[in-house]
Structure 1
Amino acid sequence: MKTAAIIFGSGIFFFVPVGIIYGILTDFQEMVGFPGLLGLGVMTAMIGVYVWLQNRSTGRIPADDLDGEISDEAYEYGFFSPWSWWPIFLAAGAGTVFAGVAIGWWITPFGGLLVVIGLIGLVYEYDRGDHAH
């Protein structure tokens, strides 16, 4: 994690100067690349700071050990629904929303409705029926 914090944190030292140089070369007339590169530098710094703080609070993790075994990382990742169709429905809704941005804004509300229905179905899947707890 320490290496990841250094890599992400050093992104600000690359992207911000490149963004400033880009702005100078375009006379600050093209207002997509300049703020985009500045924002990218700030975001990489945010990720670097977050990973560094996590590394400070948790210490060494098994992935940092060069002599570590695969079994050192073995733990339960959580519970996932093995027979659920709701994630597919949710992904179709999210795809429709993003397609609406590219094709036409009138498609976006239909995708949003699919996302809401899929999200409600996914959250309340284990509240009724055969799999209720």
Structure 2
Amino acid sequence: MTSGAKLFYGVATFLGIATVLYILGTIFLNDAGNLIGLEWAGATGLVMSTLLALMLAGYLHLTDSKTDITPSDWEEAEIEDGAGVLGFFSASSIWPFVMTVSIVVMGAGLAWWHLWLVVFGAVMLIWSATMLNLQYGLPPEKH
């Protein structure tokens, strides 16, 4: 089990204990100004947070057991062991900016209750996300 899975199992354990204490505290502690009973908003949030932490811990536990050991889990690892190519970044791509503008257009449409702006922003977002994914997959035009 790797450090990420251990971390999320610890977070899930803490949240589980906090959830039980919160539920018992809101059910059995009586405040004269409030009705006695479970406070549903906080209990639901804590239960969902516990389940999310358990889901992440389980995912990391299952995927890390099938992969090789990483430098973060190796006690004798050096910083250079984790170096390497982390991914490809296109610094000259316009599509992230177009996606940002389309999200702003959708937000303005929601703020001002203009359905046509929301639809236009959604279409623009789908188009720009497609073009971002196909940026290096499309062959260059032949003139």
Tell me, which stretches of 5 or more residues in structure 2 are unaligned? 28-36
- How well do the aligned residues superpose, as a CA RMSD in angstroms? 3.0
Deviation at 1:117, TM superposition (A): 2.2
Residue 40 of structure 1 aligns with which residue?
Answer: 49
Residue 19 of structure 1 aligns with which residue?
Answer: 19
Query: Retained in 2: the 8 A contact 1:16–1:41?
Result: yes
CA distance in 1, matches of 2:84, 2:135: 25
Q: How many residues align?
A: 129
Q: Bigger radius of gyration, 1 or 2?
A: 2
Residue 93 of structure 2 aligns with which residue?
Answer: 84
**Residue 128 of structure 2, aligned match among 112, 115, 118:** 118
Residue 71 of structure 2 aligns with which residue?
Answer: 62
* Helix, strand or coil at the partner of 2:40: coil
Tell me, which stretches of 5 or more residues in structure 1 are unaligned? none
Greater percentage in helix: 1
CA distance in 2, matches of 1:109, 1:40: 33
1:26-78 Cα deviation digits (max 9, x unpaired): 623x4332211101101101111111122211242112223322221223233
State which drifts further: 10-19 or 45-54.
Answer: 10-19
TM-score (norm 1): 0.72
Deviation at 1:97, TM superposition (A): 4.6
AA at the equivalent of 1:72: D
CA distance in 2, matches of 1:39, 1:108: 30
TM-score (norm 2): 0.68
State which drifts further: 108-117 or 37-46.
Answer: 108-117
Quote the sequence identity (%): 26
CA distance in 2, matches of 1:94, 1:125: 20
